[in-house]
Structure 1
Amino acid sequence: MSEQAATRTANRPDPRITALRRFALSITVFNILGHLVLGFEQAYITPVVAVLTAYAVDLLLETVEARTAGRPERYQGGPVALLNFLLPAHIAGLACAMLLYGNQSLAPTMFATSVAVGSKYVVRLRIRGALRHVLNPSNLGISVTLILFSWVSIAPPYHFSEDVDGPWDVVIPLVILAAGTMLNGKLTRRLPLILGWVGGFALQAVLRWAFFDAHLAAALLPMTGIAFILFTNYMITDPGTTPAAPRRQVAFGLATAAVYGLLVLAHITYGLFFALVIVCGLRALVIVGANVRERVTGAPAPGPDRPAGSPPAHEARAGAGPLPEPAAARSAG
């Protein structure tokens, strides 16, 4: 019985890969419908160029890193391995193409996509014995582009349903919300993070209304838009750059909402994206502190995703050899 159970476990599909595939399929279909039906403002060629850029950057950096480290490239092993490897890059490219608007220029989208994919190789920390990227890739690429190119903006929120009206104005957000909730509930298991983020967003709106004379309806209004639903279900919930423990997920969501509220009070635009970058950066500092404490004291420090009392990473993995970063953990966000 134990051998049969082990066989069933080994043959069971990795839920993280399944989540990436469904996410990639969802964002692909949404981009196609967006350009053909919904009224996306970008040129038709924009998502194509963005995805090809993401593929090229990811394959190049993976090849360089693998040869430098003397290990096989992660995309080796046949078409399925290549497909799984490129899923995060595919998602990052389409996310940048869908959310940025660079007028007639494709360069900002290509730049954002390159930053998104490249950040997974450049900004990494050791978590539970393996190097993992800690900044949400797509969100970072978009944020850096918005900072460096003042003439680039976020795609107008109305373009997600510009060319439809009537009941479709309600049906489309509900479909996106339902699909995202199922994905995060069954596969990424990030519903606590969503609850923390949505609850925190509502709380900061109420606090700005109570103490800073903000109009309550206006402060809550972003929650009704498709852009907010997309950010909530497909951006902030990136499993590769958010905590796994439910309590820490809630704290992560609350912190992002709090930083967003502070950015609004400071009259800083694009607060959703900048808030997520800041909170991911703060989480990275916590990880660095936990790693330093473990090295100095020799005692395991309860890091962002490691419960107190667990063995140090170097002891837990003694004799196990190098642990490559799982393909699903390289998600695009």
Structure 2
Amino acid sequence: MTWRIGAVDYPVRLPSVRDPRLHLAATITSIQVMGQAFLGWELSIAQILVCLLTCAVIEMSLLLHERREIVWPASALLTGNGVALVLRYNGTEHGDWWSMQGWYVFAATAGLALLSKHLVRFRGKPVVNPSNLGLVVCFLLLGTGIVNPLDFWWGPLSVELVAVYGILLVGALVVTRRLRLLPMSLAFWGAFAVSLGVVSASGHCISARWSVDPVCGADFWWIVVTSPEVLIFMLFMITDPMTSPSSPRPRLVFGASVGVMSALLAAPLQTEFGAKVAVLAGLVVVCAVRPPLVWAAEHGLDARVPAALKSAAAVVAVPLVLASLVVAGLPARDPGAGFETAVAAAALAGRPSVSIPAGSVPTVTVSEEVASVIGDSADDEAGRMARDLVASLLIESRAARSDDESLAASAIAGRRLETFPRQATSDLPEFSTMEVVLLRDPEDPQAIPRFGIHATGSRSGAAMDSVFELEEVQGTWVLTDEHVDSA
């Protein structure tokens, strides 16, 4: 088959239906569809297309120049799809299918990833998985204020999430069994699970935008090692046949090395952003080290190392790795470090008992986001939040009348207490609606979200539309701030 461009006929090369790249593309595309339709991904179809088109145009242009052929860019489309699968541009909303927000970031990341395949090479093959390298560079250069990786946690267990796991596992078995790469993936997962277990057992904690509490210890370990994102990484990025060893035993060593390195890089980091980038960077580091080691082995340098020294190194390797994991995790070991609270627990000792006026608390609803975080107890917890909010407002009003800041501190905290009594009112607002929502810091996407109540009604005869920010301490919800809708 040929295609005439001008006066020249160019051969056209299309992939075979047995090409494993097509099977992998079908798996990733299926995950993209599930994410858009059921998992609430903050990614637009337009952003995905930007990645695909960028990689396809660059790849086809390069191959047309080098081979004088028109080649279907199967590998390039995988690179673009891999970038789009993981990369998120802050501010993109789920359902805004044709949003072009940050299109240049997607294009630049996909372009860098694709070009690295042609420029960063060792003996005719790319050194690092292209999409993996492009993503790591993007996250390190731009940071969490602009971009973020796909979350570790994809939501509570549901039929849709079970379907995602099924698609991943079936797709992985089809692709990795044909290429005999499954043992390498399992070697990664085993080494990563054990290494991360050491880090978690020492009390490791991270902040995550999907949790209102620090994610620590066993919870951190389970969420990460069973994360669909980690499964995608181990089944479809590590197993790139162009950037991994070709022999069975080196493949096992390669997979295990990536697992240990990813856990080691994640150990000192206190945010989900840091942990996710560390997992991705583990593959970059191991791939970068591999060419010098291959060169050294081929030139017999390893044979010059005395056998006794090799044996000693093998004996101390495991204890050294374990010690390194423990020491590296010291900065993220304290669950209170980096997770500030605005409430002084001692102040609650002076909180008086308050009678809630009948009819002052309307029916309280819960946003879908809050329901996914709290679970089955969301409705009961929402009612308690609303009653504690009304009680806090009553105590604040009483404290303002008597100019008693210590009394106010038993009901309010944070910015609300700092500005006391400026925001206090003599009359309790008449609430028409209340909805429990999650509040996020727009300047720090990785900060732990806080609970709030979006309330409408009237206050002192004027219409009211406010979000009351709450924080729980010792089973009581305390008012910490109020955000008034000025529209």
TM-score, length basis structure 2: 0.49
Letter in 2 for 1:136: N
Structure 1 residue 257: Cα displacement: 1.2
Structure 1 residue 108: Cα displacement: 1.5
Structure 2 Cα separation of the partners of residues 226 and 143 of structure 1:
18
Which residues of 2 match residues 89-104 of structure 1 at below 5 A? 89-103=76-90, 104=101
Which residues of 2 match residues 144-293 of structure 1 at below 5 A? 144-150=137-143, 151-158=146-153, 166-185=158-177, 187-209=178-200, 212-214=202-204, 215-267=217-269, 268-269=274-275, 270-290=277-297, 293=299
Kept in 1, the 8 Å contact 2:139–2:147? The answer is: yes
Letter in 2 for 1:22: H
Change (3 A) 1:244 1:38: same
- Of 105, 108, 111, the residue aligned with 1:111 is 108
Structure 1 unaligned blocks of 5 or more: 1-13, 67-71, 77-81, 295-333
Structure with greater helix share of residues: 1
Structure 1 Cα separation of the partners of residues 149 and 172 of structure 2:
21
Structure 2 Cα separation of the partners of residues 179 and 24 of structure 1:
9
Kept in 2, the 8 Å contact 1:192–1:247? The answer is: no
Kept in 2, the 8 Å contact 1:260–1:275? The answer is: yes
Structure 1 residue 39: Cα displacement: 2.4
Structure 2 unaligned blocks of 5 or more: 1-14, 91-100, 205-216, 301-487
User: How many residue pairs are counted as aligned between the two chains?
Assistant: 259
Q: Is 1:136 matched with 2:123?
A: no
Change (3 A) 1:167 1:16: closer
Structure 2 Cα separation of the partners of residues 17 and 147 of structure 1:
37
Kept in 2, the 8 Å contact 1:100–1:142? The answer is: yes
Change (3 A) 1:206 1:161: closer
DSSP-derived class of the 1:38 partner: coil
Which residues of 2 match residues 53-72 of structure 1 at below 5 A? 53-64=54-65, 66=66, 72=67
Structure number with greater Rg is: 2
2:48 — aligned with what?
47
Structure 1 residue 220: Cα displacement: 3.4
Structure 1 residue 147: Cα displacement: 1.1
Structure 1 residue 234: Cα displacement: 1.2
The structure with higher relative contact order (CA 8 Å, sep 6+) is 1
Change (3 A) 1:290 1:213: same
Structure 1 residue 161: Cα displacement: 6.2
Change (3 A) 1:15 1:275: farther
Kept in 2, the 8 Å contact 1:16–1:188? The answer is: no
Residue by residue, what CA displacement relative to the aligned partner does 1:239-270 show, whole Å, maximum 9, x if unpaired?
11111211111111111111112112232432
Which residues of 2 match residues 73-88 of structure 1 at below 5 A? 73=68, 75-76=69-70, 82-83=71-72, 86-88=73-75
Structure 2 Cα separation of the partners of residues 60 and 15 of structure 1:
21
Structure 2 Cα separation of the partners of residues 285 and 109 of structure 1:
32
Letter in 1 for 2:142: F
Kept in 2, the 8 Å contact 1:61–1:121? The answer is: no
Structure 2 Cα separation of the partners of residues 125 and 249 of structure 1:
17
Letter in 2 for 1:101: R
TM-score, length basis structure 1: 0.71
Structure 2 Cα separation of the partners of residues 284 and 142 of structure 1:
21
2:449 — aligned with what?
none
Change (3 A) 1:209 1:42: closer
Structure 1 Cα separation of the partners of residues 163 and 134 of structure 2:
30
Structure 2 Cα separation of the partners of residues 48 and 227 of structure 1:
21
Residue by residue, what CA displacement relative to the aligned partner does 1:303-329 show, whole Å, maximum 9, x if unpaired?
xxxxxxxxxxxxxxxxxxxxxxxxxxx
CA RMSD of aligned residues (A): 2.6
Change (3 A) 1:238 1:98: same
